[in-house]
Amino acid sequence: MKLILFGDIQNWNAALNLLQTYRKDVFIVGLSSLDLGQFADSPVTYTLKETANLYHEHQIDGVINIQGENPYYFNLIKELGINDIYIIPSTLYRRLELSESIEDDPIIYPYLDVAPELMQIEFHLADHCNLNCKGCSHFSNLVPSPVFPDKEQFQHDLQQLASYFSQIHNFYLLGGEPLLNPEIGEYITAVRNTFPYTQIIIVTNGLLLLSLKEKLIQTIKENRVHISISDYTCLDREKIIAFVQAHALSAELREGKECFSKYLNPHGDSDPNEIFPNCIRRNCTFLAKGKMAACCQPFVIHYFNDYFNENIPEEEGIDLYEPGLDGWEIQKRLITPMNSCRYCSADVPFGWAASKAPYDSNDWCVK
């Protein structure tokens, strides 16, 4: 079988090594990408249009799309009339990293034989927070009292997600402040049991990190959880680094948190088709109460509405239990502007600061 490998240049070598090791019967005749860069003049690289010509001239049998988590790439390939599209499931790479055998695995699959992948998903373990950041994009400083998710609903939603997606690359547990949830260990275990190869990431402000109990530390380590610590100026960085090292945790201090942005337009007169493509939050796929959306706003904007007596649309999203729904349809909708986008504007950055009640809507609103 003669195939061309299509995808981002930085992913070529991993795919080639996998195929050369486990599928010697597959002949990769060339490499393709949307941007060939320095390899544009190479005799073994092809633009996507050239790849399509080779396919229609029966010089190749199809294309391996190594960007399986991105529906945009599949659409491009299909629009050019290439019907024989294959994928290498990302779980294979994770299994190799964990020293699991993949000897009996086919390695490449027709793309419709495998449920699609999802790059990431976010979930609130707590809507409230122990740090009042000015203009918090999740509106946590406007949450009047502690709010935790329904654990049983979460477990049902995980099973539903598993029926739609073969893999979720990154599963973010955040908030608010996720370490405020006393049952965080059970949520970690639930995610790991449902998605064995996902990267679980706790996003925390770090203020409670030093008080983690040994049982939770063990759960974090056993389930290969990475901790992303927002590097706010109020943190004692040296103590946090020492704690992480002492407990051999997988963790990072996430820089760049000295800057926040306001972006709301309560007038609702923005053009979604202009706002959505340039929105930095559009890929922050969010899960809440049996629904998904491209960002968290539909599920948390009610805190802003309640506090400032506004009427920005709430609860917009994809119902995970909609009859006939599948992962491909979900992916399609996630890259389609929402009605909520009318209430967003271009970001206006400002320096990070803590805030106190009474809060000012100008911390969030551009117009």
Cis peptide before 43 (omega within 30 of 0): no
Please tell me the pTM assigned to this model: 0.94
pLDDT given for residue 23 in this prediction: 95
For the stretch 78-89, pLDDT in tens is 999 999 999 999
Do 98 and 212 lie in a common domain?
no
Do 277 and 142 lie in a common domain?
yes
For the stretch 115-134, pLDDT in tens is 999 999 999 999 999 999 99
Instruction: Give me the CATH number covering residue 64.
Output: 3.40.50.720
pLDDT given for residue 178 in this prediction: 98
3-class secondary-structure state, position 39 = helix
Q: 93, 113, 133 — which closes off a domain? A: 113
Average pLDDT, the chain: 95
- Whether 148 shows a pLDDT value over 80: the answer reads yes
Cis peptide before 358 (omega within 30 of 0): yes
pLDDT given for residue 70 in this prediction: 85
pLDDT given for residue 72 in this prediction: 87
Do 136 and 52 lie in a common domain?
no
**If you ran DSSP here, which 8-state letter would residue 365 be given?**
B
Residue 10's domain comprises 2-113
pLDDT given for residue 169 in this prediction: 95
3-class secondary-structure state, position 49 = helix
Give the count of domains, the chain. Answer: 2
For the stretch 306-362, pLDDT in tens is 999 999 999 899 999 999 999 999 999 999 999 999 999 999 999 999 999 999 999
Do 123 and 105 lie in a common domain?
no
Highest mean pLDDT among 232-236, 242-246, 276-280: 242-246
**If you ran DSSP here, which 8-state letter would residue 246 be given?**
H
- Whether 256 shows a pLDDT value over 70: the answer reads no
